[in-house]
């Protein structure tokens, strides 16, 4: 079954403070597309170490959006990148796509 982004962690973290939830989602909406663009740019340029750094940054947002398996994929992919391998690229990018679709709906 495909994992779906959710607000469970954000709701738990906010302890019922809607303004905090909204602020956090606004940060994610603003930063995630920029981080994905940087990830893609470094990947296209073959700079695997910088690509890995952006995967690490994005992984925090993956976890915030409740994607436990997505976080595991991101971490394994990051380790692959550090070994100059793009194994798990398509799986990681599927997680990114689901996140982008989710934040557009919020």
Question: Distance between CA 103 and CA 25 in Å, rounded?
Answer: 8
Of 106, 104, 100, which Cα lies nearest the Cα of 39? 100
- What letter would DSSP give residue 53? H
Reduce the DSSP state of residue 4 to 3 states and report it.
Answer: coil
- Report field, pTM of the whole predicted structure over 0.85: yes
* pLDDT of the chain, 106 residues: tens digit per residue: 789 999 999 999 999 899 999 999 999 999 999 999 999 999 999 999 999 999 999 999 999 999 999 999 999 999 999 999 999 999 999 999 999 999 999 9
């Amino acid at each position: 079954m495909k994992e779906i982004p959710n607000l469970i962690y954000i709701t738990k973290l906010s302890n019922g403070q809607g303004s905090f939830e909204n602020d956090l989602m606004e940060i994610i909406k603003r930063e995630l597309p920029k981080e994905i663009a940087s990830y893609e740019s470094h990947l296209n340029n073959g700079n695997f170490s910088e690509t890995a750094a952006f995967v690490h940054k994005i992984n925090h947002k993956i976890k915030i959006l409740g994607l436990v398996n997505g976080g595991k994929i991101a971490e394994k992919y990051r380790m692959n990148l550090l070994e100059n391998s793009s194994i798990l690229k398509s799986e990681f990018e599927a997680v990114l796509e689901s996140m982008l679709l989710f934040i557009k709906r919020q």
